[in-house]
Structure 1
Amino acid sequence: MHLTLLNLTDESLVLSYANGSAVHELLALPSRPSTTMFPKKWSATLSLGGEKHIEWASVQISLSGTGRASWKPVSVPEDCLWRVYTCKVARKHYKLVVIPRRNLPSFLSSMPDDTPLSSLLLPGTHDTMAFYGWPFSQCQSIHTPLDVQFQSGIRLLDIRLTDVKGRLIAYHGAYPQKTSFQDILIAVHTFLTSPAGRSETIVMSIKQEAPSDRFSKLVHDEIAVGRGGRDMWFFESRIPNLGEVRGKVVLFSRFGNGDGWEGGLNGMGIHPTYWPDSEKTGFTWMCNDTVVRTNDWYHIPSFLSIPEKVTLALGVLEPQAADASAPVLPISYFSASSFPLAAPQTVSQGFGWPSWGLGVEGVNSRIGKWVLEQLAKGAEGGETGEGEPYIHGWTFMDYYEEPKNALVPLLVEFNFRGRKVQGDVW
């Protein structure tokens, strides 16, 4: 059995393992893969290269019975310095990937103020407040309310609202989600004024779920009287730099025509000029001088379309030759569903036992595999001069915490890879 240790931290690591009575050590330098022969079942201790007495974890990993599983997180202590993932490379070849444990509640705090939000990889939730109405109206777990999402690294909110007797209430289609817009504003303000959140920013997409002539005015007025008031918001119709919006909400308005808003459409934040329904091949629109490349193909025929859905969703995030000519913001929705064979949970999490070939691997797991491949490609390509890939964009997910709260940390890691120290990106 071959095992490759890919160390994506800034320190040398040593993996110590026993094979029978013999103890072996594998040294992994930063961003350099190291490969060795391993027993089929093994117990290993990972430590700092020059400080072997600092044993941060002793993990039991069995590579037998993994079947076709593409990757999985390794259980390590909460105070561990790193996050660890296993990936299957071939039938008898596995990879152990180690990344730094970023501070998810405040990961933007270390980014330069002049960083455009378009150059960041921001994880988000699709239909953020859809906690009820399983199987087709629910898109997020009831165990992940807004405060949990913020602490997990979620920075994009997809808020769907309906006018109910003059008050805005969260809905998914015709299904009520039991939370008022005012309560949403309280949760957002609480995070953005907390020690962890005051250097962060939240992008809030607001969409109208049911006909109402006064919807746009209600959003305007409820923001004004809500917790934090208008001072908590960024309303300009452009992509701001991070320093301009720390501790603020960036409005992403998918409603209205500007009537009743200060500055009209120019005072409604990021406002799409074009948004076709479930366009399979994606579409582009302009936000001031930024090209917004978008894929929101959500009405897939069945769960059999999951591989194609993932390919198209990821294609938006991958660098393209035309990106050098103008600022580009990729926006990708990893969410999808259709009745009766593709409920949101089925699409995002898959079903059955795909590791044994008896079931379907979900979107989230496939996205995680792709992220690990991109991170590995950057490290392994260093010797050929290819360098780390520059992946950026805004991503919206269903049931983001599956599998095992492992996907968001991987997406966040892109913000620390492939960036230039100077220029318009970092």
Structure 2
Amino acid sequence: MRGKLQDKEFIVRNATQHPISVQDTSAAVVSLLPGIPTAVTLNSRAKHVIIVCNDKDGLNINIAVPITKALPLKRLENTASDMQPSPYVVYSFMEEALDSKQSTILVLPRRNLSAFLGDFNDFVPLSSLLLPGTHDSVAYYGYPFSQCQSPTFPLPTQLRSGVRTLDIRLAVLPVKAKDPKTGKRITKPTLAAFHGIISQRVFFSSILHVIKEFLAENKTECVVMSLKQEDGARTPEAVFSRLVKEEVYADRSLWFLQNRIPRLGEVRGKIILFSRFRDVGADWPGGDEHGLGLHPTTWPVSPREAFQWHARDHTLVQTHDWYNIGSFLSTPEKFTLATSNLLVPSTSLPPIFQMPSQRISFMSAFTFPLALPPLIALGIKWGFFGWNGVNQRLAAWLLHRFTREHERAANTTVAETRFEKEQSSDNIIDYSGEIKTRIKGINTAMEADDREYDHETKVRGWILLDFVDQPGDLLPLLVECNYR
């Protein structure tokens, strides 16, 4: 005889600022107020939970949320005649507290990833934002050694998906071209994207064209661009610096070239240069200290701990770039150090009274043969066994933080009597023990975040990742940090 199947209970967390509702097994509609965890019971055979909300025209939208995968919403059913984008992104995941498990659904607002910086005022310094980024942004070739991004996630898609920090590595190629004066074919040194010795088959001018088009369409946005020379053994620094200068000054108004952290209003529609090369005989106006954008005074080779340097406005720039980690077994340590670098104190002081600090974390790593970029970023899975890469750990870590943040908001904003009632009905979960999160069916211990959640910190800085499109929920979670 088959035993009776137990119904499934979910904690649904409305982390938006608007009331929504959820449909349970009896087809009743349960109200979800902002900041209040609500228990919803589903039939044991149920594969979806239905989130009911309104679109911008007041029409009901029924969102069918898979209860077994931590993915952003992919499907929705709309009562209107045409499909409208959902105003919410919904995540479902398994959390474990002590010896119990709790299925959790987290409802977040859907942000406009193409223009999310438009939600912030002009006086916000870039150091007060979390700008998602890509390490070796156009490294689509050379798998598994040099490839760092998916060919199906090209630069225009990166920008539309929320990427605002780019890491561009360049080398000089001799290119045949026609002399505009004589009409003869000549060899012209030209900047092209490389990762190590592997050509990435795109010229720097084409990269700039893509960014310029994006900024023209999204005037509220800006893009930080790190530039680094990849062929220092072959091309003199002076030649490289001169060629970069020619590209930059061909459209000078597009660039912010001061060696300081700007405020958002100063750089909307612009590229902020982050130069990892020197002005060697190229005569940049202002030189290394004033004319090459943000310019590090030091960059040690793969230090385990974050290193520090100062911009000309005295902003402390704290950078984590430990890439030679030895093997994939060091992934948890790498992840913990890199994310810790992004935790900044939360303060109610306006930016003008805060000590300026810019955090930069490279989440990438490379050590041959046991720490290649795809393995570190994406991990590996064999059936029920596997190893989570940096990207999965990051998505789990952010969901964990958002959930704990929501828990704290519930504890502090709900009226005392309502709060006690919620506690007595077990609608609020005790998260005092180790938290585990299951993403895409992988049960991942949060060993990478054995730090207690500290509501006195925020996640801020510039974060650069490999294969940033995997998992697909990662970029929306990173963008959401700016609103919390």
TM-score, normalized by the shorter chain, greater than 0.5: yes
Equivalent-residue separation in structure 2 for 1:389 and 1:29 (angstroms): 25
8 Å CA contact 2:345–2:456 kept in 1: the answer is: no
The corresponding residue for 1:178 is 201
Aligned sequence identity (%): 39
The amino acid that maps onto 1:413 is: E
User: By how many angstroms is 1:258 displaced?
Assistant: 6.0
- 1:334 to 2:363 alignment: yes
The amino acid that maps onto 1:275 is: W
- 1:400 to 2:468 alignment: yes
The partner residue of 2:407 within 380, 389, 393 is 380
Equivalent-residue separation in structure 2 for 1:138 and 1:168 (angstroms): 19
The partner residue of 1:28 within 10, 32, 50 is 32
The corresponding residue for 1:7 is 14
Equivalent-residue separation in structure 2 for 1:82 and 1:314 (angstroms): 26
The partner residue of 1:56 within 61, 64, 80 is 61
- 1:347 to 2:370 alignment: no
Q: Deviations over 1:305-360 (max 9, x none)?
A: 11111111111011259999721111111111221122211211111158x3x011
Equivalent-residue separation in structure 2 for 1:16 and 1:148 (angstroms): 35
- 1:414 to 2:414 alignment: no
In the alignment, structure 1 segments of 5+ residues that lack a partner are 418-426
The corresponding residue for 2:394 is 367
- 1:206 to 2:214 alignment: no
The corresponding residue for 1:277 is 301
Equivalent-residue separation in structure 1 for 2:407 and 2:141 (angstroms): 44
Structure 1 residues 62, 119: closer, same or farther in 2, change over 3 A?
closer
Equivalent-residue separation in structure 2 for 1:106 and 1:49 (angstroms): 23
The partner residue of 1:98 within 107, 131, 146 is 107
Q: Deviations over 1:45-99 (max 9, x none)?
A: 2113899x94423425344xx7xxxx44343347111111112112531110111
The corresponding residue for 1:241 is 263
8 Å CA contact 1:378–1:389 kept in 2: the answer is: no
User: By how many angstroms is 1:256 displaced?
Assistant: 0.6
In the alignment, structure 2 segments of 5+ residues that lack a partner are 1-7, 77-83, 175-188, 413-453
TM-score with structure 2 setting the length: 0.78
**Structure 1 counterpart SS, 2:266:** helix
* Larger deviation, residues 295-304 vs 174-183: 295-304
The corresponding residue for 2:75 is 76
Equivalent-residue separation in structure 2 for 1:83 and 1:76 (angstroms): 11
Structure 1 residues 60, 31: closer, same or farther in 2, change over 3 A?
closer
The partner residue of 1:222 within 247, 252, 255 is 247
User: By how many angstroms is 1:5 displaced?
Assistant: 0.8
The corresponding residue for 2:52 is 47
**Structure 2 counterpart SS, 1:381:** helix
Structure 1 residues 370, 175: closer, same or farther in 2, change over 3 A?
same
The corresponding residue for 1:252 is 274
Please say which structure displays the higher CA radius of gyration.
2
Equivalent-residue separation in structure 1 for 2:142 and 2:54 (angstroms): 50
The partner residue of 2:253 within 182, 206, 231 is 231
Aligned length: 399
8 Å CA contact 2:54–2:61 kept in 1: the answer is: no
Equivalent-residue separation in structure 1 for 2:55 and 2:298 (angstroms): 56
**Structure 2 counterpart SS, 1:105:** coil
User: By how many angstroms is 1:390 displaced?
Assistant: 2.5
- 1:169 to 2:192 alignment: yes
The corresponding residue for 1:189 is 212
**Structure 2 counterpart SS, 1:400:** coil
**Structure 1 counterpart SS, 2:401:** helix
The amino acid that maps onto 1:73 is: P
The amino acid that maps onto 2:248 is: I
TM-score with structure 1 setting the length: 0.88
8 Å CA contact 1:118–1:393 kept in 2: the answer is: yes
- 1:297 to 2:332 alignment: no
The amino acid that maps onto 1:8 is: A
* Larger deviation, residues 238-247 vs 382-391: 382-391
User: By how many angstroms is 1:274 displaced?
Assistant: 1.1
User: By how many angstroms is 1:148 displaced?
Assistant: 0.8
